[in-house]
Structure formats: structure tokens, C-alpha cells
Structure 1
Amino acid sequence: MFNKLRDLACIVTVALTVCGGLAACASSSHVVATDKPGTYTVATSATGGRMAWARAHERAMNEARDYCERRGMQSSVNAETVSGVEMLTAHASSVSFECHPTF
């Protein structure tokens, strides 16, 4: 009986570690120029947990900001499209943005 409980505890620990690792997963595409001059898009996704959409959103906004800042400008978001609402599924954010001079 003790061995079974110990084995179960090990399985639960491994499962929690894997799920915890998934909660931090977020990825993004490269920033891509659109057919409209000066307008760009970036797509991001995140998995794991209820707040994956927030990680996808934050990553997209950060990518847009960083892209413009590397050019000495600031970002201005035109539109955002989000998808995914269920736990443990991929949540995505696609941001359309422009870079403008900083004042």
C-alpha cells in the first residue's frame, strides 16, 4: 500500500511539473509587413491554464513595442484578434500595428 501511494505521489509530482512548464509556454511569429505601407502584424500563441490568452496578448504587444523601439519609434496598435478560450488549448493573439516617431 505504501509503495502505491509513493508511486501515485511521484506521478502527481511529474504531472504538476509538466503542467507548470506548459503554463509558461508562449511563442511568436516574426513581425511581418502588410500590404499597407507602415503597417505590420505579429502573431503569438500560448498554452496551458485559463490565463493563456493573457500571455499571448502580452507577448504580441511586447513584440510590437520592441519592433518599433528598435527603430527609434513607438508602436500604435490598430487591431487585435484573439482566439482560444478553453483550458489546456492554444490561445492566440494577432496584432496589427504601426510604428510612429516618438515625441
Structure 2
Amino acid sequence: MKLPGIPHSLSGAFVSLAAACTVLAGCASAGNVTAADRQDTFVVSASASGGRLAWARAHKRAVSAASDYCESRGMQASLGIEQMDGIEALQQQGSTIRFECHPKL
């Protein structure tokens, strides 16, 4: 890709840098919802890596997965305990949430 006013070798470097930044900003992914040790209690884990606020993306994805799970059953999620993993900025961050599904009010 040729960027106007920038030598070709630098253009490639800028494109590569932009791609790397996009990967580092990353998306969050969630695993399957599983039954917990108590009846009507479920667990879901999500993770995100790289960039600032990866923990927030992991949390948001876990909450979304819990909400979607309950919503698919015509119910609403009631979030319980959350465990966060990973503390360094470029390290994978994780969120594991225990939740229950309750009838909508």
C-alpha cells in the first residue's frame, strides 16, 4: 500500500504497525455457559488480550454471554460473584462470572 508523501518502505511499516495495534486491541471471547455446583447457578468465562482495558472487554463479554443465555430462556440474568484474572497490560485478561436466571418482572 502506498501512502501519499511517505516512502514505500515506511508505508509498509505503518500498515504493519496499524495491523499489530488492531490485534493488540483485540476482541473478547466467551466460553460456553456451564452448570455450577448449585442448582440453577451457571458459570461463564470470557477473555481478552492486549491493549488497555482488556479486563473491561472480558467483563463486558462475560456479562453479555450470561444475559444472552438467560434471555434465550425468556428470563433475565442475576449476576453473582466475578473472578478476574490477569493484571498486566499486555497479558490475557479473564472474567469468570457465576449467575442465575430469574423470571422477568
Q: What's the TM-score once normalised by structure 2's chain length?
A: 0.85
Contact 2:25 2:52 in 1 (8 A): no
Q: For 2:9, what is the secondary structure of its paired residue?
A: helix
In structure 1, what is the equivalent of residue 71 of structure 2? 69
Pair 1:54-2:56 in alignment: yes
In structure 2, what is the equivalent of residue 33 of structure 1? 35
In structure 1, what is the equivalent of residue 87 of structure 2? 85
Pair 1:95-2:97 in alignment: yes
* Unaligned segments of structure 1, at least 5 residues: none
- Tell me the matched-pair count: 99
**One-letter amino acid of the structure 1 residue matched with residue 63 of structure 2:** M
Higher helix share: 1
* Unaligned segments of structure 2, at least 5 residues: 1-6
CA distance in 2, matches of 1:20, 1:10: 15
| Cα offset, 1:102, TM superposition | 0.7
The C-alpha deviation readout for 1:21-65, integer Å capped at 9, x for no partner, is 331321111000012000000000001111100000000000000
| Cα offset, 1:6, TM superposition | 4.1
Residue identity over aligned pairs, in percent, reads 45
CA distance in 1, matches of 2:91, 2:10: 26
